[in-house]
Amino acid sequence: MRVLGIESSCDETGVALYDTESGLLADALFSQIDMHAAYGGVVPELASRDHVRRLLPLIQQVLDDAGMHRTDLDAIAYTAGPGLVGALMVGASTAHGMARALNIPVLGVHHMEGHLLAPMLEDNPPAFPFVALLVSGGHTQLVQVEGIGQYTLMGESVDDAAGEAFDKVAKMLDLPYPGGPSVSALAASGAPGRFRFPRPMTDRPGLDFSFSGLKTHTMTTLKALVRDNALDEQARADVARAFEEAVVDTLAIKCRRALKATGYRRLVVAGGVSANKRLRDSLGNALHALSAEVFYPHPRFCTDNGAMIALAGALRLSQGEHDTGTMHTTPRWPLDTLQAPRAHEDS
């Protein structure tokens, strides 16, 4: 089955073609980062309009790269949520329009399920069951995964997601959007040990996260440095390093707890923050004592992309699941409300 995947949940337009027998055939991505950077964050209306401009040319590019025509498609998958409602509607309406014209099935896919399954695009995919850490600008969640659609939420952020905290700290440090790569780049030249930031909610049982207090601690530290006329470039780097280390250590501690709680020995880490090098190094060290394996997507599939949507859609479509005539978008859509693939009767 050849499935076209469309991702348009936020500020990246992603398209990919996935074959259930041959794997990923082609993919393309257009990032809106440069457009939104001037505003310090995503402007929803601008994001939606840019998806309209980019989507059809990207679809044609992917088909050309794969040596395929639209009539070679067997199904279409699109991101139905969570995300920005206007951006989601661009992908949903395009997918349903194409599917109706081609008389092929179409399916709305959960954005975070796409991230969760993205490591299965790699040569060494994880087997079920496993624990998944989904960590991005909008989500920080630990999920027990027993199979496709068999998800139990173990813990999540009660306030800012990790990626959101990176973005806000980047603004404090006068760094460009997006914040994650900017803070990490600055932290690379920071001195270890000058500042020791708290590891939130690690001094009590449980698997929930909280990063708002860490964000406030960072702001307080910066204000103190300004007051003492000590906020030079090295101090900024030292603060960035202390913040990044605190986030990374917190994530690693909670992942260890989740693996111990389930008895699993496989951890999947996905979402934009999963590309963070310090996080990857820390998790490798933290999980060594548990003899646990860590699986990541390829770096280009850590951020939003069409390949993960094509894959997630293909796994469900191949088992008979599809939309029943009308498109749907769900800006707020808890991952643990999903069910295992099930066939739908046409209505």
Does the annotation list 115 as a binding residue? yes
Q: Residue 336 class from Cβ within 10 Å (0-12 exposed, 13-18 middle, 19+ buried)?
A: middle
Q: What's the rounded Cα separation, in Å, for the pair 317 and 151? A: 19
Does the annotation list 149 as a binding residue? no
Q: What's the rounded Cα separation, in Å, for the pair 142 and 258? A: 8
Strand extents, DSSP E, 32-172? 75-81, 106-110, 130-135, 140-147, 150-156
Does the annotation list 136 as a binding residue? yes
Does the annotation list 238 as a binding residue? no
Number of Cβ within 10 Å of residue 24's Cβ equals: 17
Does the annotation list 137 as a binding residue? yes
Does the annotation list 138 as a binding residue? yes
> Counting runs of H as helices and runs of E as strands, what totals does the chain give?
10, 10
Assess contact for 154 and 129: CB atoms under 8 A.
no
Does the annotation list 123 as a binding residue? no
Q: What's the rounded Cα separation, in Å, for the pair 122 and 308? A: 11
Does the annotation list 180 as a binding residue? yes
The DSSP output letter for 71 is: G
Tokens coding 37 = 């950077």
Does the annotation list 135 as a binding residue? yes
Q: Which residues contact 263 (CB under 8 A, 6 or more apart)?
A: none
Q: What's the rounded Cα separation, in Å, for the pair 73 and 94? A: 14
Does the annotation list 157 as a binding residue? no
Does the annotation list 305 as a binding residue? no
Which parts are annotated binding residues?
Answer: 111, 115, 134-138, 167, 180, 276, 304
Which parts are annotated binding residues for Fe cation?
Answer: 111, 115, 304
Which parts are annotated binding residues for substrate?
Answer: 134-138, 167, 180, 276
